[in-house]
Structure 1
Amino acid sequence: MKKHFLLLCCLLLSVVVSGNPVTGLLERIQKGLSSRFKIEIQASSSQTDYFELSGGGKQVTVRANNYVSAAFGVNWYLKYYCRTNFSFCEDQLPQLPTDLPPVNERQATVLADNLYMNYCTFSYTTVFWDWERWEREIDLMALNGITMPLAMVGTEAVWRNTLLKFGYTNSEIKEFLCGPAYFGWLLMGNLEEIGGPLPDEWFTNQIALQKKILARMRAYGMKPVFQGFFGMVPSSLKEKFPEAHLVEQGLWNSLQRPPVLDPTDPLFERMAKVWYAEYEKLYGQAEAFGGDLFHEGGKTGGIDVTDAARRVQTAMRQKNPNAVWVIQAWGGNPKAELLAGLDKQHTLVVDLAAEFWDNWRTRKGFDGFPWLWSNITNYGGNIGLHGRLDAIASGPVDGQHDPIASLSMKGIGSTPEGIEVNPVVFDLANEMRWRSEYLDLEVWLQKYAERRYGSPDTSLKAAWSLFHRTAYGTYAGHRRPSESVFCAPPSLKRDKITASAWSQSRIFYDPELFAQGVGLFLQSAEKLNQVPTYQYDAIDFVRQYLADLGREAYYKLVDAYQAKERAAFAHWSERFLQLIRDQNELLSTHERFFVGRWLAMARSKSKQPEIQDLYEHNARMLIGTWTETQSPVRDYAHKEWGGMLRDYYLPRWTNYITYLKESLQGETVPVPDSFSAEKAWVNAHNTYTIASHADPVQTAKKMYSKYRRVDEVR
């Protein structure tokens, strides 16, 4: 009898734990943490998301309308009552006190939706993640109140299964599908084929991974966003169905875009029906689908856009009548004529870069269509400090107060092209769904500094005040991070030099003020040397400091060259190269700033050497040349990473400066073309070993002191 009773208790406990995903989350954060929180789920009579915190001592009760609200409530308590910080850039979580701080607080929001991720995120960051990393990210989503995550893993299997039913062979399908690092742009209709062909094991593994991802998202009550069928098809479809009306889309950054199948063509309805059926067979039913007609310069080809949009949405809703089409507001899209064909109740417009462009305001809440205020902040997974924090802290509140746009505002979004950078942005942005009034950002950042490092040090707060006034400020024309000149293809363009197209290397803030902030931050180095969040930020802030100095050294070497001042040129060019060497040394002390981590993740996706090589080639090409031939997207995803600075960026700058030196000496020498060397790095398979013996914080202090002392003397 006793054994049966114990077995029953275990089964009941198992049901409680498996039925409450927040319990598992808490245990993954810290063993035993779930016993400190009592989670109660009660529906809201007003249909608003809410959480209530009460109690203290041995246990805090978190009452909420769903598991995501409950997880956010737990995070709110841990942030504001226990001084903790969770992020994809390390955590700061001490053992909680025996007696938890007392609390009696309620928060609610009328903003139901919180969208997360960008198509590009599935290439620039998550492409080679395993289940362990995805599990961690989904926990972070819950802790930050994410309700609508994009769920694009394994979509290539839907393409395969669909095309098999339209006369394609497996090899023909692989000729269309791109390599793993490029799925983001395939799904947006920008390219096909590059980086492949995919091995069979990729499909099997990604299907299994996506099923785990979706099971956990759904356990939290999240609404994953799947890929909709909006008409993008393989270029080869014209060979299979010569009578089909395909609208050619031309080139995207020198790459051939796949055509769009006219939604009025009978083949469209047939393909859409198979697409959604195959999707549901693999991954179950979805309530939201993404996908954009005519993304980034797509051509309409004379088709009736309003009617086409109506047909796309109709096909989307055949499997699930409640389905919503999630559309990106980007580059002038969605056009008014496209929205005119849609049912408002089944459409959601995401204003992707609302922290920079107020499309929602100029378009009057997208003419009454449900919309989300979202920020991009990151482009290409670049790691420069950037955030436009003032815009992020005010934009969602502006939307809620706008007399017209507020009527159709449904929530917020975080849609960065790359993540695992600038954790303060993610923290602040997701809090804004729960704030209907403007906050004092300076006060918020003081509290952020305390919980980020678990310390009330005044020097840290003073440092963050300066970071807010510099790197994390909001400036006119400052949509992207100020790019590091170290990563720019060498030239004498000076003020117009850039690492990637559509950006700039200009510093919008006062670099001296930022340098003072870094000095204040490092005053806590001895005390916080072993705190993971402090280690990460110490490297990141000093990295930015060195990059800023590099920009100054570059300007001086260009000026010296143009003035034919050989001694000054020799001095500034050597300082510039040494800054790259020193930044490489600094970044090679921490895994998250090291190229070896990215390459190792790529190779870990297979056990077969030849497939590992394919994945590594994808990983290298994406962050390097981007394409096999020189194109406008070269260096778009540039990375200030240890190892890559030494082997990719430093050699091309060294060769270019040697060329400048020789030309100053009157020699006639050709301008070096670094692209062949870049391709050699992309095609290589050399291994990288992190400098595990080096102390990251001490190395950061050493590099800061080295240049700060020199600059003060100068």
Structure 2
Amino acid sequence: MTMNIGRMKVAELAFLLLSFLGASVSGKVFQTLSHLKPQHRDAVQSAAVQDLLYRLIGDRAAEFQVSVNSSLAAPDGLETYELRSVGVGKVAVVGSTGVAAATGCYNYLKYFCGCHISWSGVQLQVPSPLPRVPYTITVKTPNRFRYYQNVCTSSYSFVWWDWARWEKEIDWMALNGINMPLAFTGQEAIWQRVFLTLGLNQSEIDDFFTGPAFLAWGRMGNIHTFGGPLSANWMQKQLSLQNKIVERMRSLGMITVLPAFAGHIPQGLLRVFPKVNVTRLGGWANFNCTYSCSYLLDPEDPLFQKIGGLFMTEMIREFGTDHIYNADTFNEMTPTSSDPAYLSAVSTAIFKSMYNVDPGAIWLMQGWLFVNNPSFWKPEQIQALLLGAPIGKMIVLDLAAENSPIYQKTKSFYGQPFIWCMLHNFGGNHGLYGKVDTINTGPFEAMSFKESTMVGTGLTPEGIEQNDMIYELMNEIGWRSSPLNLTDWISGYSTRRYGQRNLNAVTAWQLLLTSVYNCTQDWKDHNHSPLVRRPSLRMNIDVCYNDSYLFKAWKYMYLAAPSLSKSSTFLYDLVDVTREVMQQLVTAYYLDIKTAYESEDLEKLMTAGGVLVYDLLSDFDDLLSSQPQFLLGKWLDDASKMAVTEKEASLYDMNARNQITLWGPTGNILDYANKQFGGLVQDYYAERWSLFLWCLIESLNTEIPFHQDKFNQAVSIVEKEFIYNGKKYSTTPTGDTLDIVKNIFIKYHPENVKDNNYLKLKMPYSYMKKHKFL
């Protein structure tokens, strides 16, 4: 190969030299990635952790002597913390970073004080004086990074957050040892500056951006326009919020991941640059080109580097940088060519646009595309995309490694560093689910894989604030060098979470651990209840666990209630387990409805359908409405609080309602982001089931077969009416949780039904058969 060095820019020459040398880069380079480190001085990080403790436990924070000493880090750069007692009733916590120190504080609070911190609540009964640490405890993490977030989390969970909620989340991250979070808030304001500089007008920019609840997929080039436009108020609020977010993250020693240019451009740029070389990708997820089919710049078009450079420069000017950037060009989008040369050119162009502005740039890429479209991404194509960036200059998120690990099929991503991630949740759905055995062993298997390039563990849920236990477990794994004893761990978890050891609660958690939390099937078999799906006569009702264990766990939670009724975390769990049981009851009634219709038994059809719609779902809605975390009103109210004008409030309300129901103008990803919210069950899901039941009864009465397409047309009217009806919902819980659960337990638990002929009459046949009443 020959090069005209005289005509090359210095940055381009350095980039090419780096590419040639990449293959021989020592494993130590990508293992440590040493230039990715906290920006703030030790004293600043120490103060940030101390402030965190004051937010958490008030004046008791003075009993902790927190310090950050970067020299404490292991020779290989791995984060470390130490715990020891000093004097009477005081504990010294020293960490090599703020995150390490915060993790040490939380582990002391957990394992010496019996405390617990989670999304659903906290239990902070800190003993006085503080328990003594018998000897100096030193803990070192086995991997460089603990990553957090999926690009979708920003829309499914964070979209309506204010600073107060973000502050709590960043505290949670630090306490749980997360040192590499995604920081995607506010980027649209930066993009608007770039697009205006390039000559676009405001209407063209408005047409490119989606509404707030769909920004994640606009950023990845999946969709545009839908749910928008974004107001100037939204832009400014999010920009201000992002500045607070990145400053707080960095003060705690975190390494923030900022966005980069992935190649997707607004249609308006074709007007400004009529000779630009672009390709148009296909529609995404049942969207047509009205809202999809994005334009992708050719990697060799000069505009690619110009746009990428402008965005990087402006973003770094606004937010600073920690030298790591995320870009996903083909997330759930099939490239127009499978030619390895083309795919390599795309990734080369993306990394070059980062490197030209920041020579220390590291590209973080989600590996979901390889799971989502394996028929396209064969070894040759994967290797071409990954090696378009120099070895060690890209980190790949093995995004769903607990279900579909890719590192095994790609020889550790052909030499690029990777992070073993637990995806776990899709769409922010409610539902008890997990794969504890895989989580407990998978990261260690990946570390010991031949020539492994693993550099960390990660949490990559699409939506959060559910299944606290799974995330607590995964966060602990990130700091361990070997698997846990799960039986012992879950017992301790129950005790910490509720502030006391309760044998019934511990038994319930043991049963949950071996059933709903130890699914062995692939993620595609994750339970999706008929409750939250548009009704039909052909619904998938499979679950990945033996639900008899669930009913037993429910009984033990019910028995624990009198002793734990003052615990907010217990009340949340009691509702969550009861919710899961009722979800299975919906399935049982659905089976009876289907069987009755197919056997033309009108009486049984009306009985099963009537109990489902007018009894079970009503009880279900009451249950959810009794706890703050399960309120539709809270989700909608958070959206409205982001608005300044009535027009904005109306748009945000539509965004919030649409995302959790139709997901698109015509149900394009119908029910994907379903939630089990109080208010939503009664006014949305029950309405759909009521119409379905009426249609089946009408079919038997008229002897005209049920037609799914006609039902879909009718029910879509009901679905759209919910989105635009403007009804207000309570933002505070209603009803007494314990009384509501007691009523449900008496009516539906198998042991109560078994000897009660009246209750038996209302129970579905499939339920009675499963529980051996027949």
Q: TM-score, normalised to structure 2's length?
A: 0.86
Which of residues 128, 139, 143 is equivalent to 1:97?
128
* 2:635 corresponds to 1:598: yes
* 2:749 corresponds to 1:711: no
Deviation by residue 1:530-558 (Cα, 9 ceiling, x = unmatched): 21110111110000010011111111211
* 2:146 corresponds to 1:87: no
Once the two structures are TM-superposed, the CA of residue 667 in structure 1 deviates from its matched residue by 5.1
Which of residues 25, 48, 51 is equivalent to 2:78?
48
Residue pair 1:588, 1:690 contacting (<8 A) in 2 also: no
Deviation by residue 1:223-274 (Cα, 9 ceiling, x = unmatched): 1111111211113322221211111111001321311111210111111111
The 3 A distance-change label for structure 1 pair 113 and 551 is same
Once the two structures are TM-superposed, the CA of residue 147 in structure 1 deviates from its matched residue by 0.8
Q: Which residue of 1 aligns with 2:650?
A: 613
**1:119-130, aligned counterparts within 5 Å?**
119-130=151-162
Distance 2:444 2:753 in 1: 42
Once the two structures are TM-superposed, the CA of residue 137 in structure 1 deviates from its matched residue by 0.2
Which of residues 316, 319, 327 is equivalent to 1:283?
319
Once the two structures are TM-superposed, the CA of residue 360 in structure 1 deviates from its matched residue by 1.3
* 2:111 corresponds to 1:73: no
* 2:583 corresponds to 1:547: yes
* 2:372 corresponds to 1:325: no
**1:518-597, aligned counterparts within 5 Å?**
518-577=554-613, 578-597=615-634
Deviation by residue 1:172-218 (Cα, 9 ceiling, x = unmatched): 21111111111111111211111001111111111111000011001
Q: Which residue of 2 aligns with 1:312?
A: 350
* 2:399 corresponds to 1:367: no
Q: Which residue of 1 aligns with 2:57?
A: 30
Residue pair 1:379, 1:480 contacting (<8 A) in 2 also: no
Residue pair 2:347, 2:386 contacting (<8 A) in 1 also: yes
Which of residues 271, 292, 299 is equivalent to 1:263?
299
Please tell me the residue identity of whatever aligns with 1:707: Y
Q: Which residue of 2 aligns with 1:8?
A: none
Q: Which secondary structure does the structure 1 equivalent of 2:99 belong to?
A: helix
Which of residues 237, 241, 256 is equivalent to 1:205?
237
The 3 A distance-change label for structure 1 pair 184 and 32 is same
Distance 1:156 1:520 in 2: 49
Q: Which residue of 2 aligns with 1:12?
A: none
Q: Which residue of 1 aligns with 2:226?
A: 194
Q: Which secondary structure does the structure 1 equivalent of 2:133 belong to?
A: strand
Unaligned runs of 5+ in 2: 1-41, 371-376, 761-774
Most deviating of 701-710 and 214-223: 701-710
Residue pair 2:362, 2:393 contacting (<8 A) in 1 also: yes
Q: Which secondary structure does the structure 2 equivalent of 1:490 belong to?
A: coil
The 3 A distance-change label for structure 1 pair 197 and 137 is same
Distance 1:136 1:342 in 2: 36
Q: Which secondary structure does the structure 2 equivalent of 1:665 belong to?
A: helix
Q: Percent identity?
A: 32
**1:405-420, aligned counterparts within 5 Å?**
405=452, 408-420=453-465
Q: Which secondary structure does the structure 2 equivalent of 1:91 belong to?
A: strand
Distance 1:16 1:462 in 2: 45
The 3 A distance-change label for structure 1 pair 534 and 307 is same
Q: Which secondary structure does the structure 2 equivalent of 1:48 belong to?
A: coil
Most deviating of 431-440 and 127-136: 431-440
Once the two structures are TM-superposed, the CA of residue 604 in structure 1 deviates from its matched residue by 0.4
Most deviating of 683-692 and 395-404: 683-692
Distance 2:450 2:134 in 1: 35
Distance 1:110 1:102 in 2: 23
The 3 A distance-change label for structure 1 pair 122 and 480 is farther
Q: Which residue of 1 aligns with 2:34?
A: none
Residue pair 2:258, 2:321 contacting (<8 A) in 1 also: no
Most deviating of 641-650 and 389-398: 389-398
Residue pair 1:248, 1:299 contacting (<8 A) in 2 also: no
Distance 2:577 2:429 in 1: 14
Q: Which secondary structure does the structure 2 equivalent of 1:299 belong to?
A: coil
The 3 A distance-change label for structure 1 pair 146 and 361 is same
The 3 A distance-change label for structure 1 pair 521 and 148 is same
Which of residues 134, 137, 148 is equivalent to 2:180?
148
Most deviating of 139-148 and 29-38: 29-38
* 2:324 corresponds to 1:293: no
Residue pair 1:478, 1:508 contacting (<8 A) in 2 also: no
Distance 1:221 1:338 in 2: 32
Once the two structures are TM-superposed, the CA of residue 590 in structure 1 deviates from its matched residue by 1.2
Most deviating of 527-536 and 292-301: 292-301
Distance 1:112 1:16 in 2: 22
Q: Which residue of 1 aligns with 2:427?
A: 380
Once the two structures are TM-superposed, the CA of residue 665 in structure 1 deviates from its matched residue by 2.2
Once the two structures are TM-superposed, the CA of residue 529 in structure 1 deviates from its matched residue by 0.8
* 2:272 corresponds to 1:240: yes
Once the two structures are TM-superposed, the CA of residue 575 in structure 1 deviates from its matched residue by 2.7
Most deviating of 560-569 and 224-233: 560-569
Once the two structures are TM-superposed, the CA of residue 103 in structure 1 deviates from its matched residue by 4.2
Please tell me the residue identity of whatever aligns with 1:393: N
Which of residues 500, 508, 516 is equivalent to 1:455?
500
Number of residue pairs the alignment of both structures matches? 688
Deviation by residue 1:637-694 (Cα, 9 ceiling, x = unmatched): 1111100111111111101101111222235487432111111111222110256451
Q: Which residue of 1 aligns with 2:686?
A: 650
Distance 1:231 1:154 in 2: 19
Q: Which residue of 1 aligns with 2:374?
A: none
Most deviating of 585-594 and 168-177: 168-177
Distance 2:422 2:525 in 1: 12
Distance 1:173 1:480 in 2: 40
Residue pair 2:46, 2:68 contacting (<8 A) in 1 also: no
Distance 2:173 2:134 in 1: 24
* 2:437 corresponds to 1:390: yes
Distance 1:663 1:583 in 2: 28
Q: Which residue of 1 aligns with 2:475?
A: 430
Which of residues 536, 541, 552 is equivalent to 1:491?
536
Distance 1:19 1:92 in 2: 24
Most deviating of 703-712 and 461-470: 703-712
Q: Which secondary structure does the structure 2 equivalent of 1:635 belong to?
A: coil
Which stretches of structure 1, 4 residues or longer, exceed 4 Å deviation after superposition?
A: 15-19, 667-671
Q: Which secondary structure does the structure 2 equivalent of 1:524 belong to?
A: helix
Distance 1:607 1:314 in 2: 40
Unaligned runs of 5+ in 1: 1-14, 497-504
Distance 1:54 1:175 in 2: 58
Residue pair 1:378, 1:480 contacting (<8 A) in 2 also: no
Once the two structures are TM-superposed, the CA of residue 477 in structure 1 deviates from its matched residue by 2.8
Residue pair 2:89, 2:130 contacting (<8 A) in 1 also: yes
Residue pair 1:386, 1:480 contacting (<8 A) in 2 also: no
Residue pair 1:247, 1:299 contacting (<8 A) in 2 also: no
Most deviating of 243-252 and 505-514: 505-514
The 3 A distance-change label for structure 1 pair 710 and 19 is closer
Distance 1:384 1:228 in 2: 34
* RMSD after superposition: 1.8
Q: Which residue of 1 aligns with 2:206?
A: 174
Once the two structures are TM-superposed, the CA of residue 480 in structure 1 deviates from its matched residue by 5.8
Distance 1:540 1:148 in 2: 30
Q: Which secondary structure does the structure 2 equivalent of 1:349 belong to?
A: strand
